[in-house]
Amino acid sequence: MILTRKLVASLHGGFVRDPIEVEAISLTNSPGAVSWSISDQVFTISVDGGAPAALPLGGILVSDVVAWILGLGLTAAALQQPDMGAETLLDDSGEVAVSGGVVWTSFTDPTWALLDAFAFELQGIRGSIGNMRADLGLSTASGEWLDFHGAHYGVARTAGESDPDYAARIVATATKTLLTNRTLENAITGAIQATSVVVADAGLLSFPHYLNGYYTLGGVYPIGYLPGGSPAIDATILAPIPQGESEAIVGGRARSVIEFTRAAGVAVRSLSVNGVPA
């Protein structure tokens, strides 16, 4: 309502700035002291300092508010126009130590009603603007904005996944090194200080087919091989050999890097260091 009053105050002098109040609800009896607040379209009531009960006013009528108050053990009645929207109740707060004597008012002026609708939307937008900076960052975004980040990287939220877990999974996926031949070349170069590394696809590699430790000599498969096979690579490396080591030792380190980095199912068909198989 504060924003509504500012909007109304900015109107030309020919407009009536008063909301044209009308008595809407009367509290006539209660079991103890009552404190209340109507703010940002939420009606809050507490009896004798107990836990407050809150009722959002959006989409309900004044008569619904009266029924809610009665459900709290208080006595109240609608004074005029019980079918008026509850959003028209004017902001108010207070406390009474004895029963009765409280009247809540609503507005009827159409100009006020129009501007109050704008004010309510602007209030929500202001909250969104305040959260915008956090929502722009993947690690600080939440809710649907975090879902937008996930969609950008092709990572969908799983059922029941919390924002922190989802954000961590998006980051892990987005920063994961993609396995390519170039990735393997860079990894090998960094590990053994190679001067040249070439990793090339070698097609599908077939494996001998064994039965009880012996090659199959007949049956549905060609002798000694399974159908299909596994994708394979050839690695050709040129690298200095440290004193006391050999091409085989350097090649072993390179093979360890490949085993750590390669995707599951990718086999090494050949690996050579300075022309020496390793």
pLDDT exceeds cutoff 90 at 145? no
Question: Cα separation of 2 and 124, whole Å?
Answer: 14
Q: Are residues 188 and 264 in the same domain?
A: yes
**For 71, which DSSP code?**
H
Lowest mean pLDDT among 70-74, 128-132, 137-141, 168-172: 128-132
Average pLDDT of the chain to the nearest whole number: 77
- Kindly report, residue by residue over 258-276, the tens digit of the pLDDT: 888 776 667 788 899 999 9
Q: Are residues 171 and 208 in the same domain?
A: no
Q: Are residues 97 and 164 in the same domain?
A: no
Tokens of 57: 């006013």
Q: With CA atoms as reference, report the closest residue to 87 among 67, 49, 114.
A: 114
Q: Is the dihedral of CA 98, 99, 100, 103 positive or negative?
A: positive
Q: Are residues 79 and 147 in the same domain?
A: no
Q: What is the pTM of this model?
A: 0.38
Q: Is residue 116 part of a domain?
A: no
Question: Cα separation of 88 and 110, whole Å?
Answer: 11
Domain that residue 230 falls in: 181-277
- What does the pLDDT read at residue 116? 65
CATH number, residue 185: 3.30.300
- Kindly report, residue by residue over 198-223, the tens digit of the pLDDT: 998 876 655 554 444 444 444 443 33
